Amino acid sequence: MSFASLPAEIGLGFKPQHFSAIAAAPAAIGFFEVHAENYFGAGGVPHAQLTALRRDYALSLHGVGLSIGGEAPLDHSHLATLKALCARYQPESFSEHLAWASHNETYFNDLLPLPLNEATLARVATHVDQLQTTLGRRVLIENPASYLSFSDGTITEPQFLAELAARTGCGLLLDVNNVYVSAVNLGFDPKTYLDAFPLALVGEIHLAGHSDATDAEGRAMLIDTHGAPIADPVFALYEWVLTRAGPRPSLIERDNDVPDWLALASEAATAGKILDAARKPQSHHAA
């Protein structure tokens, strides 16, 4: 098993349209993250750009389509392609989601929810074992953004992820925006969630923007859009996590309404200040 890891710095999601701007104005960031499935093609511009980027930066390969939370066994050709990508690019991190994305032959291109109970825990653990064995490396599993819950759910999400990590040895990717979005949508306290979350196992943090919505019953809710700057309450939770966990590799995700490179780099600098503050020795109050 490989235990290479990302630097405890700010990372950004790589957008192909920023490629030349990045070369012209490199930002002080520690790593880039890409969605693995965008590199399932054989060649061309995507691989040429990723090869160039990888020479200069640490890399996080983030899977969105393996369907680890699905009922069916993992897709062998998908696993084989991920293995080949990891062999080719040697990313510092590979991560996937606590979600499902396909059923039978259909791929839904979305992260879909599953009930959290003993049966799904056993299934997800089997899939994570298989993924780690195939890749020959420890992977990180990410908490989803939730809009609903299931009547057959019996385990809380932090407990589920802690137990998954205990059974498989996997690490966790803590998406702080997802925690905040789920907390608003399902009516829980995000700090209670984070208190139960095994922060020691967090190999990466995700930060992103969300948007406001109202459900059919008129309840205010949040949608995880990755289409806006990071909201203040998410930055506050991020700071709260770092105070307890220490500095961690922290990625800003932006997939919709993507601004220009300099605007993203400026948001990275804002998050970087919070991260740098967490590097300083904690001051202790005098008695």
Partner 1 sequence: MEEAQFASALLDPDLPAPAAISASYRSRFAIYRNNVVVSLIEALATRFPAVRRVVGDAFFTEAARLFVANRPPRSRMIAFYGDGFADFLEALPACAELPYLGDLARLEAARTQAYHAGDVTPLGPETLASLAPELLGDLRLTLHPAVTVIASAHPIVTIWAMNAGEQKLAEIDDWRGQAALISRPHFDVEVRALPPGGAAFLKALAQGATLAEAAADAQAAAPDFDLPVNLAALFSIGLVASTALEGETG
Sites of contact with partner 1 (CB under 8 A) = 37-38, 40-48, 65, 70-71, 75, 78, 100-110, 112-115, 147-152, 185-186, 213, 215-217, 221, 223
Q: How far is the CB of 47 from partner 1 (least distance, A)?
A: 7
Q: Is 245 left (phi over 0), alpha (psi -120 to 50) or beta?
A: alpha
Considering the complex, state which of residue 248 and residue 254 has its C-beta at the smaller distance from partner 1: 254
Measured in Å, how far apart are the chain's first and last C-alpha atoms? 46
Q: How far is the CB of 100 from partner 1 (least distance, A)?
A: 7
Q: How far is the CB of 70 from partner 1 (least distance, A)?
A: 7
Considering the complex, state which of residue 106 and residue 282 has its C-beta at the smaller distance from partner 1: 106
Contact 205, 241 (CB under 8 A): yes
From residue 25, how far is each of 18, 43, 131, 266 by CA, in Å? 10, 26, 37, 12
Q: What is the rounded CA–CA span in Å between residue 227 and residue 1?
A: 36
Rg value, the chain, Cα: 18
Q: How far is the CB of 78 from partner 1 (least distance, A)?
A: 6
Q: How far is the CB of 19 from partner 1 (least distance, A)?
A: 11
Angle at 120 between CA 244 and CA 223, to 5 degrees: 60
Q: How far is the CB of 21 from partner 1 (least distance, A)?
A: 18
Considering the complex, state which of residue 145 and residue 199 has its C-beta at the smaller distance from partner 1: 145
User: Residue 258, CB half-sphere, CA atoms under 13 Å: how many?
Assistant: 15
Q: What is the rounded CA–CA span in Å between residue 2 and residue 83?
A: 13
Count, residues in the chain = 287
Q: How far is the CB of 42 from partner 1 (least distance, A)?
A: 4
Q: What is the rounded CA–CA span in Å between residue 235 and residue 248?
A: 14
Q: What is the rounded CA–CA span in Å between residue 111 and residue 114?
A: 10
